């Protein structure tokens, strides 16, 4: 094993545990894994850290809403992140949880150090706070968070402050320093500019403790305060490698690895990493990270994939879809681990190839399958399979002789064998392999993964054209003496090119390249990486006479229908009500509200059937009766959200829910049955139209303990402006449903009247002394 002279310490953001992972999180982790594998094969002593961010108001509220203690809540979600990374073969070296004692010790030490160095003082904060981003926001009460657009909350607390304002100029100097070894490199350039303009607009001191809730790390010496969650979270990059411990092994580890060489982050958290974090470190007298690189967002159906929007794709859907429908069909005897790792490669390749790094990129199952078939099955996979089969058939399964002149660079002998001088001789592939290797390395070093892969695929296409042009299969039985030499030159060129491409692709496609490597007769690719054999890729490394390993398809073709299958899987994986904020279990069909479901109770014209809203509104049991339609005796209660899996909005008035005088007697429910329906007062924070859906509005409502997205078919009757700020009634315990790729987490209560079923939302007046979140019963 080569002696590691250089270290490389790389981190992902630590993920919030308010919801289980989706492919947006997987994107960051995959990119980090690719970078870590690349550095390891370059011989660097690499440390790759990931983990979960478990404290703060947002997690506390999610746990409260789920009715379980935050520790238990965090345990479950954190485990779901770790389990996914393990399933995907992510090679993290440590997984830090901010609830671990080692982290708490380090955070408290850092806080104390900042205090001792005079950068912390006690004052009162009155201002706005965005719970979703855990960020302080400038502006008047009710102002929206500039990052996520949500309405902020007013906070008035006695807090510890950090003297951030003292670091404005030092930070600018650091970022602009001409001494590149002292500089924090911020990539891409646009993000660096964003940070600089934020800094130039002035820095105010930052509140770094909270007193209005308990779920956090206590401030040392003043336990009424918990440490601000971003200070807590950012410190993970140091506590994971020993900061806060006096154990000599931890001290040595910290000295070896700090500062981080790269913090990889999503673009929305660049400010925390390029302003707050370096300022804390400067104040503590600690070295600053060398680089922060931000990637863009993964979009699904044109908006950022996120739990609150409900437009989420899970990595598990792709692992199951490709693992079961593609790999297991070809290899029924394969293990689950093999299937998962095969599918994980598919996702890795797609994300890195499809999205120009740094930009936002759309995800679709169709594009995933298209890329897989064209680039992996037909491109790389087909090239490997036809080349190795030919070697098996015509060279007794051994790597043939290389043509001396390719090796020495003397073209003359080759020109006689390959007279067409158009850049397609074996000699040209040697030259191309050298330039592809160097372009690939440069691009990966600049995080330009898509360009790097594009370069390799141009080489693959050219090599494929070469094999097709010289048709080696026609030479196998030729009696012409030169043809045997030509055949060997072609097959050696193809096999050696495949070796080089495979070595380059190893960090991106670890599982597939391992198979190709062993089919080439080269043994274990992981061992080759550790021994530095994937690093020096000079032409001719493949020894003639090497015996090929057993051959098998690498990338079986995927059916186009798989896109629909995965779409369906994703829909049915949509989370249903569970204790973890509707997040952790897979969906049970919402039989009561989906009339198309075979298990749905029959809908009749009687009002007392399974539709709970009918019963509630029709019974006049609500205190909001005066807010209903004036002719409320004729009113019909409306479930104003689409419940069908087909994503078609449900008619505003559900079938036959008309309240006829006396009808209530026809089917009564018990008080216990009614109690199952959770109705709460909510305030509309956001209301907006959904592109290409005339009837639907997307609402975000505040339930006091959490914020929810609800889709409602009221766009024909209400403008978004009319709704924002209203106090309405929401049915909160309906299973979530997806429409237009968005999830709806509840239903609004309204009466509908007239032939068109015009809805009137049940609304509380501002003068009603009723809290948001209050239950109606
Ligand atoms: N807990 C903070 C980070 C603290 S780091 C000291 C946080 N967590 S997060 O779970 O909300 O997001 C973490 C990261 O997940 C983002 O920065 C980004 O890297 C990734 N992504 C989450 N959603 C994403 C997309 N839709 N698209 C791409 N990446 C996304 O912020």
For ligand 1, say whether the CB of 56 is within 6 Å of any of its atoms.
no
For ligand 1, say whether the CB of 25 is within 6 Å of any of its atoms.
yes
505 vs 38: CA distance, rounded Å = 9
Q: Burial of 250 by CB count in 10 Å (0-12 exposed, 13-18 middle, 19+ buried)?
A: middle
Q: Does pLDDT of 192 surpass 50?
A: yes
Side-chain-facing half-sphere of 172: CA atoms under 13 Å = 12
- Mean pLDDT across the stretch 52-77? 93
Ligand 1 atom with the shortest distance to the CA of 298:
27
| The pLDDT value given to residue 406 | 61
| The pLDDT value given to residue 66 | 85
Question: What's the length of the chain?
Answer: 777
Ligand 1 atom with the shortest distance to the CA of 304:
26
**3-state SS of 461-478?**
HHHHHHHHHHCHHHCCCC
Q: Does pLDDT of 615 surpass 50?
A: no
Q: What pTM does this model have?
A: 0.76
CB of 608 within 8 A of CB of 666? yes
Residue whose CA is closest, atom 5 of ligand 1? 13
- Mean pLDDT across the stretch 93-98? 98
- Token duo for residue 219: 């401030």
Strands 120-130 and 15-16: unpaired
729 vs 133: CA distance, rounded Å = 26
Q: Does pLDDT of 190 surpass 90?
A: yes
As beta bridge partners, residue 15 has 52
CB of 262 within 8 A of CB of 293? yes
| The pLDDT value given to residue 356 | 96
Provide the pLDDT confidence category of residue 125 given band limits of 50, 70 and 90: confident
Q: At what angle do helices 57-66 and 70-87 cross, to 10 degrees?
A: 100
Strands 742-744 and 737-739: antiparallel
- Closest among 599, 602, 675, 593 to 639, alpha carbons compared: 593
- What is the radius of gyration, based on Cα positions, of the chain? 31
Ligand 1 pocket, mutate which of 12, 28, 741 (most atoms under 8 A from CB)? 28
Q: Does pLDDT of 10 surpass 90?
A: yes
For ligand 1, say whether the CB of 234 is within 6 Å of any of its atoms.
yes
DSSP annotation of 734? S
Q: Please list, in sequence order, all residues whose beta carbon lies within 8 angstroms of the beta carbon of residue 373, skipping any fewer than 6 positions away.
A: 557, 558
Q: Does pLDDT of 243 surpass 90?
A: yes
Strands 679-690 and 693-702: antiparallel
Ligand 1 atom with the shortest distance to the CA of 267:
17
- Token duo for residue 677: 């329906």
Q: Does pLDDT of 769 surpass 80?
A: no
Q: Does pLDDT of 611 surpass 80?
A: no
- Mean pLDDT across the stretch 369-392? 97
14 alpha carbon – ligand 1 mean position (Å): 8
Ligand 1 pocket, mutate which of 134, 269, 271, 272 (most atoms under 8 A from CB)? 269
Q: 719-765: per-residue pLDDT in tens?
A: 888 888 889 999 888 877 877 777 788 889 888 777 667 888 888 88
Q: Does pLDDT of 714 surpass 80?
A: yes
330 alpha carbon – ligand 1 mean position (Å): 36
Q: 461-489: per-residue pLDDT in tens?
A: 999 999 999 988 888 877 777 888 889 99
Q: Does pLDDT of 108 surpass 90?
A: yes
Helix (H/G/I), strand (E/B), else coil: 185:
strand
- Mean pLDDT across the stretch 23-38? 98
53 alpha carbon – ligand 1 mean position (Å): 10
Strands 7-11 and 262-266: parallel
205 vs 228: CA distance, rounded Å = 13
More confident residue, 544 or 645: 544
CB of 542 within 8 A of CB of 499? yes
Helix (H/G/I), strand (E/B), else coil: 125:
strand
674 alpha carbon – ligand 1 mean position (Å): 40
For ligand 1, say whether the CB of 296 is within 6 Å of any of its atoms.
no
Q: Does pLDDT of 663 surpass 90?
A: no
19 vs 583: CA distance, rounded Å = 6
Q: Burial of 634 by CB count in 10 Å (0-12 exposed, 13-18 middle, 19+ buried)?
A: middle
Ligand 1 pocket, mutate which of 10, 12, 13, 16 (most atoms under 8 A from CB)? 13
Contacts 24+ apart (CB under 8 A), 331-336: 331/552
Average pLDDT of the chain is 84
51 alpha carbon – ligand 1 mean position (Å): 12
Q: Does pLDDT of 768 surpass 80?
A: no
| The pLDDT value given to residue 623 | 21
Ligand 1 pocket, mutate which of 266, 292, 294 (most atoms under 8 A from CB)? 266
| The pLDDT value given to residue 405 | 66
Residue whose CA is closest, atom 30 of ligand 1? 24
| The pLDDT value given to residue 275 | 98
For ligand 1, say whether the CB of 297 is within 6 Å of any of its atoms.
yes
Residue whose CA is closest, atom 6 of ligand 1? 234
Q: Does pLDDT of 189 surpass 60?
A: yes
316 alpha carbon – ligand 1 mean position (Å): 18
Q: Does pLDDT of 626 surpass 60?
A: no
Residue whose CA is closest, atom 29 of ligand 1? 24
210 vs 161: CA distance, rounded Å = 10
- Token duo for residue 334: 């394969």
For ligand 1, say whether the CB of 53 is within 6 Å of any of its atoms.
yes
Q: Burial of 705 by CB count in 10 Å (0-12 exposed, 13-18 middle, 19+ buried)?
A: middle
18 alpha carbon – ligand 1 mean position (Å): 12
132 alpha carbon – ligand 1 mean position (Å): 12
Percentage of the chain exceeding pLDDT 90:
59
For ligand 1, say whether the CB of 98 is within 6 Å of any of its atoms.
no
236 alpha carbon – ligand 1 mean position (Å): 15
Q: Please list, in sequence order, all residues whose beta carbon lies within 8 angstroms of the beta carbon of residue 734, skipping any fewer than 6 positions away.
A: 577, 590, 593, 643, 745, 746, 747
For ligand 1, say whether the CB of 228 is within 6 Å of any of its atoms.
no
696 vs 742: CA distance, rounded Å = 11
548 vs 388: CA distance, rounded Å = 8
CB of 436 within 8 A of CB of 459? yes
308 alpha carbon – ligand 1 mean position (Å): 13
37 vs 526: CA distance, rounded Å = 10
- Closest among 736, 693, 724 to 302, alpha carbons compared: 693
For ligand 1, say whether the CB of 305 is within 6 Å of any of its atoms.
yes
653 alpha carbon – ligand 1 mean position (Å): 40
Ligand 1 atom with the shortest distance to the CA of 269:
17
572 alpha carbon – ligand 1 mean position (Å): 25
271 alpha carbon – ligand 1 mean position (Å): 13
For ligand 1, say whether the CB of 16 is within 6 Å of any of its atoms.
yes
Residue whose CA is closest, atom 17 of ligand 1? 266
Q: Does pLDDT of 304 surpass 90?
A: no
More confident residue, 555 or 125: 555
- Closest among 527, 537, 551, 552 to 497, alpha carbons compared: 537
147 alpha carbon – ligand 1 mean position (Å): 13
- Token duo for residue 143: 């102002």
Q: Which of 29-33, 177-181, 401-405, 465-469 has the weakest average pLDDT? A: 401-405
Provide the pLDDT confidence category of residue 183 given band limits of 50, 70 and 90: confident
73 alpha carbon – ligand 1 mean position (Å): 19
Q: Does pLDDT of 662 surpass 70?
A: no
For ligand 1, say whether the CB of 27 is within 6 Å of any of its atoms.
yes
Residue whose CA is closest, atom 18 of ligand 1? 266
As beta bridge partners, residue 702 has 683, 707
Q: Does pLDDT of 51 surpass 70?
A: yes
313 alpha carbon – ligand 1 mean position (Å): 15
| The pLDDT value given to residue 692 | 78
Q: Does pLDDT of 289 surpass 70?
A: yes
Provide the pLDDT confidence category of residue 424 given band limits of 50, 70 and 90: confident
Provide the pLDDT confidence category of residue 695 given band limits of 50, 70 and 90: confident
Q: Which of 47-56, 353-362, 438-447, 645-654 has the weakest average pLDDT? A: 645-654
More confident residue, 308 or 37: 37
- Token duo for residue 138: 């400038």
DSSP annotation of 324? I
| The pLDDT value given to residue 574 | 57
| The pLDDT value given to residue 631 | 30
Ligand 1 pocket, mutate which of 10, 15, 236 (most atoms under 8 A from CB)? 15
239 alpha carbon – ligand 1 mean position (Å): 20
More confident residue, 29 or 665: 29
What are the Cα distances from residue 759, in Å, to 288, 630, 702, 723? 58, 12, 21, 13
Q: Where are the alpha helices (DSSP H) in 637-681?
A: 671-675
More confident residue, 301 or 11: 11
265 alpha carbon – ligand 1 mean position (Å): 7
The Cα angle at residue 504 between residues 545 and 377, in degrees rounded to 5: 85
Provide the pLDDT confidence category of residue 624 given band limits of 50, 70 and 90: very low
266 alpha carbon – ligand 1 mean position (Å): 6
For ligand 1, say whether the CB of 107 is within 6 Å of any of its atoms.
no
Q: 537-573: per-residue pLDDT in tens?
A: 999 999 999 999 999 999 999 998 999 999 999 887 6
Ligand 1 atom with the shortest distance to the CA of 277:
6
353 alpha carbon – ligand 1 mean position (Å): 20
DSSP annotation of 380? I
Q: 259-278: per-residue pLDDT in tens?
A: 999 999 999 999 999 999 99
For ligand 1, say whether the CB of 265 is within 6 Å of any of its atoms.
yes
15 alpha carbon – ligand 1 mean position (Å): 6
**Residue located via tokens 């961010």:** 53
- Token duo for residue 606: 């009687």
Provide the pLDDT confidence category of residue 593 given band limits of 50, 70 and 90: very low
Ligand 1 atom with the shortest distance to the CA of 13:
5
For ligand 1, say whether the CB of 129 is within 6 Å of any of its atoms.
no
Q: Does pLDDT of 618 surpass 80?
A: no
């Amino acid at each position: 094993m080569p002696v590691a002279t250089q270290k490389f310490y790389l981190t992902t953001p630590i993920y919030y545990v308010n919801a289980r992972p989706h492919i947006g999180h997987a994107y960051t982790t995959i990119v980090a894994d690719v970078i870590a594998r690349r550095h390891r094969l370059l011989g660097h002593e690499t440390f790759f850290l990931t983990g979960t961010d478990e404290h703060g108001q947002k997690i506390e509220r999610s746990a409260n809403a789920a009715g379980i203690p935050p520790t238990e809540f965090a345990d479950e979600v954190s485990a779901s992140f770790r389990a996914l990374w393990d399933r995907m073969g992510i090679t993290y070296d440590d997984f830090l949880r901010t609830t671990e004692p080692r982290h708490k010790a380090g955070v408290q030490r850092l806080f104390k150090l900042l205090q001792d160095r005079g950068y912390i003082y006690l004052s009162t904060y009155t201002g706005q706070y965005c719970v979703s981003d855990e960020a302080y926001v400038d502006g008047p009460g009710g102002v929206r968070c500039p990052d996520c657009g949500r309405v902020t909350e007013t906070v008035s607390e006695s807090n510890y402050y950090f003297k951030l304002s003292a670091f404005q100029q030092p930070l600018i100097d650091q970022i602009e320093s001409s001494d590149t070894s002292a500089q924090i490199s911020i990539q891409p350039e646009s993000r660096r500019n964003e940070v600089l303009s934020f800094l130039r607009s002035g820095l105010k001191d930052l509140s770094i403790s909270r007193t209005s809730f308990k779920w956090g790390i206590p401030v040392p010496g003043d336990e009424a305060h918990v440490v601000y969650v971003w200070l807590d979270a950012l410190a993970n990059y140091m506590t994971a490698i020993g900061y806060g411990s006096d154990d000599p092994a931890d001290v040595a580890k910290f000295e070896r690895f700090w500062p981080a060489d790269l913090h990889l982050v999503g673009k929305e958290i660049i400010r925390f990493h390029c302003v707050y974090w370096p300022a804390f470190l400067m104040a503590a007298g600690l070295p600053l990270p060398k680089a922060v690189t931000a990637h863009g967002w993964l979009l699904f159906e044109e908006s950022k994939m996120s739990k609150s929007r409900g437009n989420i794709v899970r990595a598990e859907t792709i692992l199951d879809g490709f693992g079961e429908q593609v790999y297991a069909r070809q290899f029924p005897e394969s293990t689950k681990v093999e299937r998962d790792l095969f599918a994980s490669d598919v996702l890795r390749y797609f994300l890195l190839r499809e999205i120009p790094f740094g930009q936002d990129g759309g995800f679709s199952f169709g594009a995933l399958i298209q890329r897989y078939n064209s680039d992996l099955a037909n491109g790389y996979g087909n090239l490997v399979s036809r080349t190795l089969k030919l070697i098996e058939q015509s060279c007794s399964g051994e790597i043939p002789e290389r043509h001396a002149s390719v090796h020495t660079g003397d073209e003359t002998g080759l020109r006689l064998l390959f007279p067409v001088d158009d850049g397609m001789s074996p000699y040209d592939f040697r030259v191309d392999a050298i330039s592809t290797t160097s372009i690939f390395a440069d691009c990966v070093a600049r995080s330009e993964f898509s360009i790097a892969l594009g370069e390799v695929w141009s080489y693959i296409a050219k090599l494929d054209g070469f094999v097709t042009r010289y048709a080696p299969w026609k030479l196998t039985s030729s009696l012409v003496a030169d043809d045997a030499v030509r055949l060997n030159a072609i097959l050696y060129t193809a096999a050696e090119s495949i070796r080089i491409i495979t070595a380059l692709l190893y960090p991106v496609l670890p599982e597939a390249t391992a198979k190709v490597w062993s089919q080439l007769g080269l043994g274990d690719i992981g061992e080759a990486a550790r021994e530095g054999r994937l690093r020096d890729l000079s032409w001719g490394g493949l020894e003639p006479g090497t015996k090929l390993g057993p051959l098998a398809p690498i990338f079986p073709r995927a059916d186009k229908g798989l896109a629909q299958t995965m779409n369906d899987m994703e829909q049915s994986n949509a989370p249903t009500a569970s204790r973890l904020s509707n997040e952790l279990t897979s969906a049970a069909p919402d039989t009561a509200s989906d009339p198309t479901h075979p298990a749905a109770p029959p809908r009749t014209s009687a009002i007392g059937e399974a539709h709970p809203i009918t019963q509630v509104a029709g019974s006049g049991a609500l205190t909001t009766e005066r807010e209903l339609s004036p002719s409320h005796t004729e009113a019909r209660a409306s479930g104003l959200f689409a419940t069908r899996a087909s994503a078609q909005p449900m008619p505003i008035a559900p079938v036959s829910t008309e309240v006829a005088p006396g009808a209530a007697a026809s089917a009564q429910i018990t008080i216990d049955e009614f109690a199952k329906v959770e109705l709460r007062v909510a305030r509309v924070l956001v209301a907006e139209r959904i592109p290409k859906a005339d009837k639907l509005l997307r609402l975000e409502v505040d339930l006091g303990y959490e914020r929810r997205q609800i889709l409602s078919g009221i766009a024909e009757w209400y403008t978004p402006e009319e709704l924002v700020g209203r106090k309405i009634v929401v049915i909160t315990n309906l299973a979530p449903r997806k429409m237009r790729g968005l999830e709806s987490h509840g239903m609004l209560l309204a009466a509908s009247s007239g032939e068109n079923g015009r809805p009137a939302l049940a609304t509380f007046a501002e003068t009603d002394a009723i809290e948001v979140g209050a239950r109606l019963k």
